[in-house]
Amino acid sequence: MRIPNLRVTGLAVCIGLLGGCATTTTSPTGRQQMVGGVSQQELDQMGEQEFAKLKAQKPQTQNPRERTYVNCVVGDLVQQLPPQWQRYNWETAVFVDAEPNAFALPGAKVGVNTGIFTVARDQDELATVIAHEIGHVISNHHNERITRAQMAQGGLMAAQVIGALAGINPDAIGQIGGTTAQLYLLKFSREQESEADVVGQQLMARAGFDPRKAVNLWQNMIAAGSARPPQWLSTHPDPQARLGELNKRAGGLMPVYEQARAAGRRPKCG
């Protein structure tokens, strides 16, 4: 019995070390989050490497208007970021891909698929998408996901060892535990998506983009979308609930938008 106990103790130390790497911080919306699984420098390097791979693998648009359009929107948004994020040299790429999608990566990388232009029909709607994706970066969501994943994996390892001592098949525990961990992380992702909506809509208003157009954009996305998985198994908030929150928030952001316009922040991207 002493050997198994030593194995459990050793694993508990390992989990403690994983948890010890994490620190509690406050997100831009005031939410408590666990980060620290990787350093910002490591995150930036991962983002840069992934972006380089994508540029090597996927064709980019040769349409100068599309490139200029996206660069303009990104540039106006970046000017309203907190100082630590403005210091980055933000890079954009427009990929030839019919999927209406966009993303932002640590290391100040923004990718947009040409398919996004089918649902983002003016500069304000495009700013909604890009500001949302940048919101993930400046809210440390990538670091948060990595940290949470490390902690979930450590917990699964502990359950397998302890279950084995009780005579339970470790593979069965792995399957059950994996499903539980996945659902936990998906729920967490919905929190991030909602937060990116908040941060992104605030950002676009400060930059002089109409925050009311966020509602139009998501209406277009819903109209263009296909069948969705059940809400409880989705990585995005329920569409109708999301529209309601965006619409409610837009009203409160109109003074911010009007102040930005009065200060001369009047984007002319397309």
The model's pLDDT over 235-250, given as tens digits with 9 standing for 90+, comes to 566 778 888 899 999 9
Q: At what angle do helices 239-262 and 213-224 cross, to 10 degrees?
A: 150
Beta-carbon count within 10 A of 126 CB: 27
Side by side, which strands form the sheet with 109-113? 91-95, 109-113, 102-105
| Amino acid residing at 119 | V
pLDDT at 76 over 90: yes
Per-residue pLDDT tens over the stretch 159-214 = 444 334 434 455 554 554 454 444 334 444 788 889 999 999 999 999 999 999 99
Above 60 in pLDDT, residue 91? Answer: yes
Both tokens of 81, joined, read 């970021």
User: CA torsion 141→252→218→95, rounded to 10°?
Assistant: -50
d(CA 230, CA 237) in angstroms, rounded, equals 10
Report whether pLDDT(52) > 90: yes
Give all strands (DSSP E) within 55-199, no chain letters. Answer: 91-95, 102-105, 109-113
Q: What is the pLDDT of residue 37?
A: 80
pLDDT at position 21 is 64
What's the pLDDT band for 23 if we cut at 50, 70, 90?
A: confident
The full set of domain ranges for the chain reads 2-262
Q: How many CA atoms lie within 13 A of 146 on its CB side?
A: 17
d(CA 41, CA 33) in angstroms, rounded, equals 19
What pLDDT is stored for residue 56 in this prediction?
Answer: 95
The answer to whether the pTM exceeds 0.85 is no
Residue 83 confidence (pLDDT) above 90: yes
Q: Rounded distance, CA 36 to CA 28, Å?
A: 17
Q: What is the largest CA-CA distance in the chain?
A: 74
pLDDT band at 149 (very low <50, low <70, confident <90, very high): confident
CA distance 15 to 38: 16
